[in-house]
Structures are given as C-alpha cells and as structure tokens.
Amino acid sequence: MKTVEFHTCECSEKRAFADRRSAEKALGRAQAKRDRQAQRWENRHPMNRENRIYQCDYGMWHLTKQSRRSYEEGAARLAA
Ligand SMILES: [Zn+2]
C-alpha cells in the first residue's frame, strides 16, 4: 500500500499534510482501522471515533480526534 506523504509542522510534533486531500485520505485510513477494533471492544464509546481534520495557523492540515476531556464532559452532561 502506498504511504500518504506527510510532513512535520511548526505548531506541533503531529503529522502534517500539505493539502486537504492528503489529510482526508489519512483520516479515512485511520478510521477504517479504528472501526475494525471498535466492532470488538469499543462499541460503548462511539464518540471516541470522531476524528476530524483541521488546518492550523501554518496552513498545514492535521488529524485530530475528540479529546478525552470533552468526551467526559459530554457524558457528564448526559448523566445529569
Ligand atoms: Zn500545524
């Protein structure tokens, strides 16, 4: 399988993509892998799978997922 080319960015140590399409491709692959695991043991936490891409101040594209903290805040709101 061909590897999606990525770079580093000045904003963080994260992988950075020069264009949106490369980022979306990488995101799709990451989600496919995660979904296979999710079917086995992560059904109870579907929100953990919400990955997104975003463009940072340096004009590079990064992958991100919902943070654990915001997940817990959402769960607390639901339970209240
Ligand atoms: Zn960046």
Cα of 75 vs centre of ligand 1, distance in Å, is: 29
What pLDDT shows up at residue 33?
A: 81
pLDDT tens-place values along the chain, 80 residues long: 556 566 889 998 888 999 999 999 999 988 888 777 666 655 555 555 557 899 999 999 999 875 555 555 666 677 76
Cα of 74 vs centre of ligand 1, distance in Å, is: 27
What pLDDT shows up at residue 55?
A: 95
Find where tokens 């709101």 sit. Answer: 77
Residues with CB under 5 A from ligand 1 (ion): 9, 11, 56, 58, 60
Measure the CA–CA gap between 73 and 28, rounded to whole angstroms.
Answer: 26
Provide the whole-model pTM.
0.58
CB neighbour burial string for 43-74, b if at least 16 within 10 angstroms, e if fewer: eeeeeeeeeeeeeeeeebbbbebeeeeeeeee
What pLDDT shows up at residue 50?
A: 54
